[in-house]
Amino acid sequence: MTTRSKTPNTKATTTKPARRASTAASKANILKTNVSNTKVSKSNASKTPRKNTANVIGIESRSKPKLASVVIIGAGFAGIGMAIRLQQSGIKDFIILERGSEVGGTWRDNQYPGAACDIPSNLYSYSFAQNPNWSKSFSGSREILDYIKNLVKEHNLESYIRFNCNVVDTEFHEEGGIWNVTCENGNHYCGRAMVMAQGPLSNASLPNIEGVEDFEGHKIHSARWDHNYDFKGKKVAVIGTGASAVQIIPELIKEAEHVKVFQRTAAWVMPRPDFNVPNWNKALFSKIPATQRAVRNALYLGHEAMALAVIWNSPLTRVAEKIGAAHLKNQVKDKWLRRQLTPNYKIGCKRVLVSNDYYPALQQENCKLITWPINKISASGIKTVEGIEHQVDCIVFATGFDVCKSGTPFPVRGLEGVELSERWARGAKAYKSISVTGYPNLFMIFGPNSGPGHNSALVYMESQLDYAVKGISKILSENLKLMDVRSDKQRRFNADIQRRLAKTNWNSGCKSWYLTEDGFNATMYPGFASQFKAQMEKFKSTDYRIVKA
């Protein structure tokens, strides 16, 4: 049972404005030794010089920008998939901007020990680029990264990618019907259409704990792993018990002298049907691709059925909870530890985790689960409310990602220069997750309300890619200046989404990264993946305001 994929199921490419100014500075300090792509504040971004002197589209450029058909932001799963689908539809005049020095996004960034996908590999891959050689039923991050790299190689995408291009500003010029994109290195790019494929889980998030900057030991974020740090003989604290933590902890206890795991909320953990794929299976998939498609379809339908347990409160929810409770009881004998690990909310309300070795790891002699609230971080460890300073050599922050639920990772200026983050100040809203009124010719992959709770993110992503291809094809083939979704259509769409979300487990009362502080759910799609696909299959140009060039 899973939600989305594994922790890092989307790509990373861009920067995110530091919206919480008070904590951003200290957090930046913590990450600075590990993070190759630090955040750029919105204020800094807005200071980027923008003069109307250099060229037809009115942007000064270090190198005069050439007008591309499409500018794709991000070379992770979404960006690479977008490029392939554009190529396959005959659109080859695109450019991919990537903040890192290699492709892979979140799978490139999340290389912590034990990093793996929560969705079976056959389903966590593109249907149009199946890989018969997955070594395990649930692949590790390196194998998934290799898969993405292979996609780049097989489709000759390398030349389309501009590496080390950290997007700091984007603006739509209504007169020309062109998106202008500025990178941190000063380069500018422009395109008839723009695809935001930077992914929602691209920026590491640190907890808002007092004293984070005071700790004098080593600090590592799960999404920016320090492979040079030797854990042997070290006392380590892990803050967080989410999807990354349950994969890291079983690996850490093999190396470190002691591991203290600081838990805030217990999660539902389900057993993981993990196995090595035998060679005959790989050969079969390779020689008869239909067999792999059949397995993929079976996995897809199996996950679809899980929606009934995870998304909505149904008798199957109780069944899923019983499976989770039985897994816990089977693996944890101590009554108090079991109580500490028992979630206090409906399954599905927060992300469901999958692991066979997390509970056993917690019970190893060199591991201890700590559920006391954290008071502060000190120079030598973590002070908890029971009055003790837990002294450690290293703190691992498995605290997830800074998800843009009401902002954008970089300024996005649409018609009349209105910033999308301002428009979204009270919660992100889009039409079919992909278009936003006032932001013409823009397509978002994993925009608002496109998150899966039960199925592969790649299934959702594929249908978004194909929708974007339809929209972009229309813009190019009909030489449109503007294709802007109608506000009434967007309003009606969101009213329906929020009405449906109100009946889901995500909105049933627990706090999660799916929700804003106000409890607004701009993250998840309240339905089956099949429903999402069906919604994305229909591209109705009448839903858009169209202006010809």
Partner 1 sequence: MASIDLDKMLEKVKKTQWSLDEIDWDAPGAELITEEQWPKLKDFMADLMWIEHVGARAFAAMAKKAPTDTLRELYSYFHAEEQRHANAEMALMRRWGMLDGDEIPEPNINLRLVIEWLDRYSDEMPYYVLGTVVPMLEVALDGALCKFLLDTVDDPVCHQAFEKINGDEARHLGVGFTVMEMQGRGKSTIKAMQMVAPLLDPRLILGIASYFPLLNKMRDNIVAMGLPEERLYDAMRKFEKIGGRTEDGRRNPWFQIIKHHGRMVINRSNSFYHVPVDALVRLTGRIPRRALPAVPSWVYELTDKPTSDVV
**Residue 99 or residue 346: which is nearer to partner 1 going by CB?**
346
Based on the shown chain and the rule CB under 8 A, indicate whether residue 385 belongs to the binding site for partner 1: yes
Closest separation in Å from C-beta 90 to partner 1: 53
Among candidates 390, 383, 431, which has minimal Cα distance to 539?
431
Q: Which stretch binds partner 1 (CB under 8 A): 70-78, 170-178, 335-343, 457-465?
A: 335-343
Based on the shown chain and the rule CB under 8 A, indicate whether residue 344 belongs to the binding site for partner 1: yes
Closest separation in Å from C-beta 536 to partner 1: 36
Q: In angstroms, rounded to a whole number, what is the distance separating the alpha carbons of residues 267 and 270?
A: 10
Q: Which stretch binds partner 1 (CB under 8 A): 79-87, 104-112, 303-311, 382-390?
A: 382-390
Q: Which stretch binds partner 1 (CB under 8 A): 129-137, 321-329, 379-387, 449-457?
A: 379-387
Out of 38, 44, 391, 473, the residue judged to bind partner 1 by CB under 8 A: 391
Calculate the alpha carbon distances from 13 to 21, 79, 272, 376, 409 in Å.
22, 9, 30, 32, 10
Q: Which stretch binds partner 1 (CB under 8 A): 30-38, 330-338, 424-432, 484-492?
A: 330-338
Structure tokens at 393: 């050599």
Out of 148, 259, 394, 434, the residue judged to bind partner 1 by CB under 8 A: 259
Out of 51, 335, 540, 548, the residue judged to bind partner 1 by CB under 8 A: 335
Are 233 and 252 a contacting pair, CB within 8 Å?
no
Q: In angstroms, rounded to a whole number, what is the distance separating the alpha carbons of residues 461 and 532?
A: 10
Are 72 and 195 a contacting pair, CB within 8 Å?
yes
**Residue 53 or residue 344: which is nearer to partner 1 going by CB?**
344
Closest separation in Å from C-beta 518 to partner 1: 13
Are 434 and 441 a contacting pair, CB within 8 Å?
no
Are 282 and 139 a contacting pair, CB within 8 Å?
no
Structure tokens at 85: 């689908």
Question: Rounded to the nearest 5°, which phi and psi values hold at 102?
Answer: -150, 170
Q: How many residues does the chain have?
A: 549
* Interface positions, 217-246, toward partner 1 (CB under 8 A): 235
Out of 63, 287, 315, 336, the residue judged to bind partner 1 by CB under 8 A: 336
Question: Rounded to the nearest 5°, which phi and psi values hold at 431?
Answer: -100, 125
Closest separation in Å from C-beta 258 to partner 1: 5
Q: In angstroms, rounded to a whole number, what is the distance separating the alpha carbons of residues 269 and 261?
A: 16
Closest separation in Å from C-beta 363 to partner 1: 11
Q: In angstroms, rounded to a whole number, what is the distance separating the alpha carbons of residues 75 and 167?
A: 12
Based on the shown chain and the rule CB under 8 A, indicate whether residue 539 belongs to the binding site for partner 1: no
Q: Which residue has the tokens 């804003």?
A: 516
What is the x/- site pattern for partner 1, positions 502-521, by CB under 8 A? Answer: ---------x----------
Q: Which stretch binds partner 1 (CB under 8 A): 49-57, 334-342, 485-493, 534-542?
A: 334-342
Based on the shown chain and the rule CB under 8 A, indicate whether residue 415 belongs to the binding site for partner 1: no
Beta bridge partners of 67: 190
Closest separation in Å from C-beta 383 to partner 1: 5
Question: Residue 86, CB half-sphere, CA atoms under 13 Å: how many?
Answer: 28
According to DSSP, residue 527 is labeled S
Closest separation in Å from C-beta 239 to partner 1: 16
Structure tokens at 251: 């690996």
**Residue 71 or residue 392: which is nearer to partner 1 going by CB?**
392
Among candidates 449, 458, 407, which has minimal Cα distance to 430?
449
Out of 11, 383, 423, 489, the residue judged to bind partner 1 by CB under 8 A: 383
Closest separation in Å from C-beta 371 to partner 1: 8
Q: Which stretch binds partner 1 (CB under 8 A): 44-52, 217-225, 310-318, 389-397?
A: 389-397
| DSSP letters for 272-291 | ----BPPHHHHHHHHH-HHH
Structure tokens at 379: 């120079």
**Residue 51 or residue 335: which is nearer to partner 1 going by CB?**
335
Q: Which helix (H) or strand (E) holds 374?
A: strand 374-377
Question: Rounded to the nearest 5°, which phi and psi values hold at 333?
Answer: -90, -30
Closest separation in Å from C-beta 403 to partner 1: 20
According to DSSP, residue 91 is labeled -
Closest separation in Å from C-beta 334 to partner 1: 5
* Interface positions, 287-326, toward partner 1 (CB under 8 A): none
Out of 334, 422, 488, 537, the residue judged to bind partner 1 by CB under 8 A: 334
Number of residues that bind partner 1 (CB under 8 A): 31
Out of 388, 425, 547, 549, the residue judged to bind partner 1 by CB under 8 A: 388
Based on the shown chain and the rule CB under 8 A, indicate whether residue 350 belongs to the binding site for partner 1: no
Closest separation in Å from C-beta 237 to partner 1: 11
**Residue 275 or residue 336: which is nearer to partner 1 going by CB?**
336
**CB neighbours of 455 closer than 8 A, spacing ≥ 6?**
119, 123, 300, 303, 304, 306, 307, 528, 529
- Contact positions vs partner 1 (CB under 8 A): 235, 258-260, 334-337, 339, 344, 365-368, 372-373, 375-376, 380-381, 383-392, 511
